[in-house]
Amino acid sequence: MTGPGGAIAADVRAGRRTARDVLEDHLGRIEGREAEIHAFNRVLADEARSAAGEVDRAVAAGQDPGPLAGVPVALKDNLCTRGIPTTCSSRILDGWLPPYDATVVSQLRRAGAVIVGKTNLDEFAMGSSTENSAFGPTRNPHDLSRVPGGSSGGSAASVAAGFSALALGSDTGGSIRQPAALCGVVGVKPTYGLVSRYGLVAFASSLDQIGPFATTVADAALLLDAISGHDAMDSTSLPGEVPSAAAGLDQGVEGLSIGLISELMNADGMEPDVLARCRQAADALTAAGAKVDEVSVPAVAFGVTAYYLIAPAEASSNLARYDGVRYGLRVPGTDITAMYGATRSAGFGAEVKRRIMLGTYALSAGYYDAYYGKAQRVRTLIVRDFEAAYERFDVLLAPTTPSTAFEIGAKTGDPLAMYLSDVCTIPSNLAGHPAMTVPFGGGDDGLPIGVQVLAPALGETVMFRVAATLERAALGQAGPDRPGETAP
């Protein structure tokens, strides 16, 4: 289904609408609801107006500004933007201005997109609710008493509220898919290495991936295809052929075999309404010509446990660079050790400190084999179990989250309950595989529910075939409206 992003780009390229007009519409919506939602750490109205002006001048001069011509896009505030504050919603980066743009940011600019702002997140992307932000929480546009999910909650809320047609986030254990599901939008975590991570502030480097938020599957494909591809600036970027997401949109699912992951259907805290939507999604795919069966992927049950050793271990190493010398905040001390301590104590929030301590412990001599080493072995088991499943199935299906959006404050006192929000999304990060969430109706509380499509490495095309089919089926479901959204 053509989304607002695709429609805007087509209109702007054809000269039917100006990028400036499109932008003013979106800035108007931001003006209307941003005070209550708090999707952004910073709205870039002036920069966006000048970028939109350039797009319009290019069109007037008979040039093609690109596939995202005039499309307003929001960026998670852990993506570096040259000369524009990039905070990771942390006090420790206070005053830091990146000296370069992330590769995805350059790609967006080259494709004609208009960057409207930097979105709120859990500090350094650690969290599942966007409550761990030094700048206060983001609220769910569907219900302001609920979280938008996290850590890319600001990007999800921006798209759900119609502040931007598209957004980028990062997903280390679910931070694109989980908030997308809770805000009723599409969210994609691409194959590890498909999208350059150059200029993404590192959390857990073996897991982090950048990916799109959109209101439709076609819009998500448009954005993903614009940012996929090899980048010499990222040593983990994959060389070679790039799968096309757009190629899958109209192919349907006739003849595909799809496995419903039993362990995730029975995951901790799985609510019956979410499960019911997932089963309806499976039925819709059967009706569309796929063969759907349950499949056991046993090691995914240990995903959260392995992740909460591996991710903090990598984070403790990545965050060692914030020492008061090279970036942002510095709190003076009597000597350099005291300065490090004072800076890090004042600059990091509680969850980031918890992760640094957990990770340092898991990596320390005497514990390394028992914790980090063992978690890596579990990670290998997860990869093997997925491989076995993909011998029989083209794609896998699961819920995205165990529940709909929870109340603000409901899980802030219980880190483990918060961590379990990602039970269904973490396995794909550990395996390096792509996965995406598609809105599929609402829960008993009327809030959005997402269904997750998982595919083998570089299986984006087949993943989008299934996602587009689910989206068509979901149109027949009673689902929550997108608040604040008007036709483009």
Catalytic residues: 76, 151, 175
For 61-152, where are the alpha helices, taking DSSP H only?
103-110
125 lines the binding site for ligand GLN (CB under 6 A): yes
Of residues 65, 66, 70, 173, which one binds ligand GLN by CB under 6 A?
173
* Count of residues of this chain found to bind ligand GLN when the rule CB under 6 A is applied: 14
Task: Give SS3 for 174.
Answer: coil
Stretch of 79-87, 101-109, 172-180, 284-292 lying at the interface with ligand GLN (CB under 6 A): 172-180
* Distances, alpha carbon 396 to alpha carbons 315, 423, 426, 452, in Å: 29, 15, 14, 8
Of residues 422, 456, 465, 471, which one binds ligand GLN by CB under 6 A?
422
Q: Could you tell me what percentage of the chain is helix, strand and coil, using 3-state DSSP and rounding each to the nearest 5?
A: 45, 15, 40
Rounded Cα distance between 71 and 332, Å, is 44
127 lines the binding site for ligand GLN (CB under 6 A): yes
For 370-488, where are the alpha helices, taking DSSP H only?
374-392, 415-419, 426-431, 460-474
Residue showing the smallest CB distance to ligand GLN in the complex: 175
Of residues 120, 138, 172, 215, which one binds ligand GLN by CB under 6 A?
172
* Distances, alpha carbon 77 to alpha carbons 43, 127, 245, 422, 451, in Å: 11, 14, 25, 21, 26
199 lines the binding site for ligand GLN (CB under 6 A): no
Cβ nearer to ligand GLN, comparing 7 with 304: 304
Closest approach of ligand GLN to the CB of residue 318, in Å: 12
Cβ nearer to ligand GLN, comparing 8 with 126: 126
Closest approach of ligand GLN to the CB of residue 308, in Å: 8
Residue in 344, 305, 300, 304 with CA at minimum distance from that of residue 321: 344
* Distances, alpha carbon 462 to alpha carbons 27, 216, 245, 384, in Å: 36, 17, 8, 20
Rounded (10°) angle between helices 350-363 and 303-318: 100
Q: What is the x/- site pattern for ligand GLN, positions 205-244, by CB under 6 A?
A: ----------------------------------------
Stretch of 47-55, 126-134, 328-336, 437-445 lying at the interface with ligand GLN (CB under 6 A): 126-134
120 lines the binding site for ligand GLN (CB under 6 A): no
92 lines the binding site for ligand GLN (CB under 6 A): no
Q: Give residues in contact with ligand GLN (CB under 6 A).
A: 125-128, 151, 170-175, 203, 311, 422
